[in-house]
Amino acid sequence: EVQLVESGGGLVQSGGSLRLSCAGSEFTVSSDYMTWVRQAPGKGLEWVSVIYGGGATYYADSVKGRFTISRDNSKNTVYLQMNSLRVEDTAVYYCARAGPLVRGVIKGSGAFDFWGQGTMVTVSS
């Protein structure tokens, strides 16, 4: 069965950095659209970034220039490098997949058919 396992969350001071990892199993991350979605405590879901195809990437305006999504095909793993962290970046970060059946017509867009368990990032002031 398809699985996504995130790691790398933790407590960091404002201005600091963290790198999140999302390891996929039973599918190939380079063949699907891989996304990071976050959820601040008690709040709704917010799209953060997507990587797909040959390595094309997109970012939400709130993280552009600070976060970088990447992947290592040999490890079947997607990463989210988070720099210049702010208190408002505090959230549970989920890795999610948009498989072939649930993609949209625009490249990089889709619904998310599999999600990781989430990893908590806390940014203190």
- Burial group, residue 99, by CB count within 10 angstroms (0-12, 13-18, 19+): middle
- Per rule CB under 8 A, is residue 44 in the interface with other proteins? yes
For other proteins (CB under 8 A), the number of binding residues is: 27
Dihedral sign, Cα of residue 50, residue 32, residue 26, residue 39: positive
Closer residue to other proteins, CB minimum distance, 27 or 47: 47
Exactly one of 8, 47, 70, 76 binds other proteins (CB under 8 A); which one? 47
Residue span binding other proteins (CB under 8 A) among the ranges 18-26, 74-82, 83-91, 107-115: 107-115
